[in-house]
Structure 1
């Protein structure tokens, strides 16, 4: 289950990656959706607001993806640290060699 808001969204690496993705993908989407009005200089204030919101979409997608990947990584690391049923804890001193 994914918590509604994870503190991982504020991790600098997550925020930096999301900002880079938003800049790249947001520019592409803005040009595709509004390029003709931008080039013609006929953008309305509402159009510029829409362009701004356009950048939030890739930022959000990148953030969610990064948080899910970090959570999965944490689960995998925790699973690797847990002993399996086949592994029994060694008895104290069993690592000493008899000489």
Structure 2
């Protein structure tokens, strides 16, 4: 990957289109993962600051995966055009 490719990839990764779709996916998948991983604490109302921090971090996983995947797909499509 050249510097130009990296620059384009970063622009795509942070583009509004990718961020919007990744945010939607992160909300849905993150909520499911947070409930799977921290459901007992939520149901018992024993959520600590540490648990909240872990739940917030849980949302970053699907956001990052979705953003990286979208970036790779868009880059592949751009390379096919040229």
TM-score (norm 2): 0.88
Higher relative contact order (CA 8 A, sep 6+): 2
Structure 1 gaps of 5+ residues are 79-99
The count of residues paired between Structure 1 and Structure 2 equals: 78
Q: Establish whether residue 27 from structure 1 lines up as the match of residue 31 from structure 2.
A: yes
Larger Rg: 1
1:3 offset after TM fit, Å? 2.9
Aligned to 2:46: 42
Aligned to 1:91: none
Aligned to 2:6: 3
TM-score (norm 1): 0.74
1:15 offset after TM fit, Å? 0.3
1:73-84 residue pairs with structure 2 within 5 A?
A: 73-78=77-82
Q: Of Structure 1 and Structure 2, which has the larger fraction of its residues in helix?
A: 2
Give SS of 2:47's match.
coil
